[in-house]
């Protein structure tokens, strides 16, 4: 494997996507669940659909599985139009949110269930099931029934069952939602590992932004039946194309005002009467006018005296301190009433903390640390 070449088929114009949504619309009665939408997903991708509940991400996935038909537009998988093809005739398997393990069948029989529907011989099926059990480290539990194993094991059985048929595409509906936080983090890495080993295309639906950022090669952020932004996790985090995305992914500070494009390519934002305009990178399509300045709390430096080398400096008073162990977040109130958050890493002991409540402090950031986005 040429590890040096980055995996980014979406940047290669010669690559044909595995899945293509073309002007797909889905309506349920009067309600429009999916607005006209185009999307391409490539082979071997680990693609995440991220959004709050009711944003249409599950509908999108159910259309891929064949449980819902689009009201308009076409979905192609591997170049084949999927219209009219029932779920049982698609080379797509799904891992259900509730796992949907058949309670009357053992772990072994659950995994073998899909294989038995094809024309495989008994020996082939047994060999495949054993492979899957080994892949998901379930060898010891083959004979157990679903209610005799723990939540994490159930999740692995569901994964093994969906992967057993070696589908072109695996759909995962909130696969880790039922697990507790610690187990979820371990399982995320396991999922990535299995995805890499099996070289299957994964599409995951989740409302957990951390999960999407951890596992996915690309993330589509959805809102109200629309895809707002599709990009790699670092790009989504560093250069969100809207305040919605910025706010949905991670913690963010927002300041509203009027923007102007400067000659040096940066944008400046007049955010309060009499205050020096703040500078930041201009967001996509920013024309000036009403805009918002967004900056991540960890990019804001907090100091007791006014820093001399920075242009973006504001003065405020500490309102609240949230101590998170590895980090501390300071809520600082500006004279105009806005509250900005600044985050610092706690690499010193608590007793020697620099700041306390009501302290007057200066917040500062570099010219390119924040983004100015059109509203």
Partner 1 sequence: MKQFSWFNATALTLGFAFLYIPMIILVVFSFNDNRLVTVWAGFSTRWYVELFQDEAFLDAAWVTLRVAFSSSTIATVLGTMAAYVMVNGGKFFGRTLFSGMIYAPLVMPEVITGLSLLLLFIAIGLDRGVITIVLAHTTFAMCYVSVVVSSRLVNFDRSLEEAALDLGCTPFQAFKLVTLPLIAPAVISGWLLAFTLSLDDLVIASFTAGPSATTLPMKIWSSVRLGVSPKINALSTILILLVTIGVIAASITSKRSIARALRDEQMADQSA
Tell me: does residue 143 bind partner 1 (CB under 8 A). Answer: no
**Interface residue with partner 1, options 75, 94, 204, 300 (CB under 8 A):** 94
Tell me: does residue 70 bind partner 1 (CB under 8 A). Answer: no
Any idea which residue has 């309060």 for tokens?
272
Tell me: does residue 224 bind partner 1 (CB under 8 A). Answer: no
Instruction: Write out the two tokens for 117.
Output: 């529907």
Pair 167, 94: CB distance under 8 Å: no
Tell me: does residue 96 bind partner 1 (CB under 8 A). Answer: yes
**Interface residue with partner 1, options 16, 150, 276, 368 (CB under 8 A):** 150
**Interface residue with partner 1, options 50, 65, 160, 228 (CB under 8 A):** 65
Q: How far apart are CA 338 and CA 71, in angstroms?
A: 45
Tell me: does residue 63 bind partner 1 (CB under 8 A). Answer: no
Which ranges in the chain belong to alpha helices (H)? 57-65, 107-116, 122-135, 151-164, 181-198, 209-215, 233-238, 243-248
Tell me: does residue 165 bind partner 1 (CB under 8 A). Answer: yes
Tell me: does residue 113 bind partner 1 (CB under 8 A). Answer: yes
Please give the DSSP secondary-structure letter assigned to residue 149: S
Phi, psi of 245 (to 5 degrees): -65, -45
Stretch that binds partner 1, among 34-42, 158-166, 229-237, 299-307 (CB under 8 A): 158-166
Minimum gap (Å) between residue 98 Cβ and partner 1:
5
The residue among 2 and 31 lying less far from partner 1, judged by its C-beta, is 31
Tell me: does residue 152 bind partner 1 (CB under 8 A). Answer: yes
Stretch that binds partner 1, among 6-14, 91-99, 213-221, 239-247 (CB under 8 A): 91-99
Q: How far apart are CA 202 and CA 204, in angstroms?
A: 6
**Interface residue with partner 1, options 23, 28, 74, 117 (CB under 8 A):** 117
**Interface residue with partner 1, options 52, 54, 151, 335 (CB under 8 A):** 151
Phi, psi of 197 (to 5 degrees): -65, -45
Q: What is the DSSP string of 328-347?
A: EEEEEE-TTS-EEEEEEE--
> How many other C-beta atoms are found inside a 10 Å radius of the C-beta of residue 58?
20
Tell me: does residue 279 bind partner 1 (CB under 8 A). Answer: no
Q: Which of residues 293-332 bind partner 1 (CB under 8 A)?
A: none
Minimum gap (Å) between residue 139 Cβ and partner 1:
13
Rg for the chain, CA atoms, rounded: 25
**Interface residue with partner 1, options 86, 274, 325, 337 (CB under 8 A):** 86
What are the residues facing 19 on neighbouring strands? 41, 77
Pair 77, 90: CB distance under 8 Å: yes
Minimum gap (Å) between residue 84 Cβ and partner 1:
15
Q: How far apart are CA 302 and CA 329, in angstroms?
A: 10
Instruction: Write out the two tokens for 348.
Output: 């010193």
Binding positions for partner 1, rule: CB under 8 A: 65-67, 86-88, 92-94, 96-98, 100, 102-104, 113-114, 117-118, 141, 144-145, 147-153, 161-162, 165
């Amino acid at each position: 494997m040429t590890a040096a070449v980055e995996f980014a088929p979406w940047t290669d114009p010669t690559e044909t996507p595995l899945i293509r949504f073309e002007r797909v619309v889905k309506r349920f009665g009067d309600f429009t669940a999916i607005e006209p939408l185009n999307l391409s997903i490539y082979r071997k991708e680990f693609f995440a659909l991220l959004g709050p509940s009711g944003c249409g991400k599950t509908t999108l996935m159910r259309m891929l599985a064949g449980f819902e038909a689009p009201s308009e537009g076409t979905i192609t998988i591997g170049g084949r139009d999927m219209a009219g093809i029932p779920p049982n005739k698609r080379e797509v398997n799904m891992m259900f949110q509730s796992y949907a393990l058949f309670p009357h069948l053992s772990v072994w029989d659950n995994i073998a269930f899909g294989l038995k529907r094809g024309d495989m011989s008994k020996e082939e099926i047994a060999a495949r099931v054993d492979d899957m059990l080994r892949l998901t480290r379930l060898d010891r539990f083959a004979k157990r029934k679903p209610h005799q194993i723990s939540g994490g094991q159930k999740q692995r059985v569901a994964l093994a069952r969906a992967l057993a048929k070696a589908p072109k595409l695996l759909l995962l509906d909130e696969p880790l939602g039922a697990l507790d936080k610690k187990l979820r983090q371990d399982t995320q890495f396991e999922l990535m590992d299995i995805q890499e080993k099996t070289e299957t295309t994964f599409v995951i639906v989740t409302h957990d932004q951390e999960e999407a950022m951890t596992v996915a090669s690309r993330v589509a952020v959805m809102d109200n039946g629309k895809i707002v932004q599709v990009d790699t996790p670092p790009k989504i985090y560093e250069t969100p194309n809207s305040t919605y995305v910025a706010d949905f992914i991670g913690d963010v500070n927002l300041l509203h005002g009027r923007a102007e494009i400067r000659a040096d390519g940066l944008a400046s934002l007049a955010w309060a009467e009499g205050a020096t305009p703040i500078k930041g990178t201009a967001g996509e399509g920013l024309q000036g006018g009403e805009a918002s300045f967004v900056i991540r709390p960890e990019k804001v430096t907090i100091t007791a005296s006014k820093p001399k080398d920075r242009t973006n400096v504001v003065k405020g008073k500490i309102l609240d301190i949230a101590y998170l162990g590895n980090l501390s977040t300071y809520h600082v109130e500006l004279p105009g009433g806005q509250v900005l958050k600044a985050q610092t890493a706690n690499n010193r002991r608590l007793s020697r903390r620099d700041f306390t409540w009501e302290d007057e402090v200066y917040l500062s950031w570099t010219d390119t640390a924040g983004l100015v986005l059109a509203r």
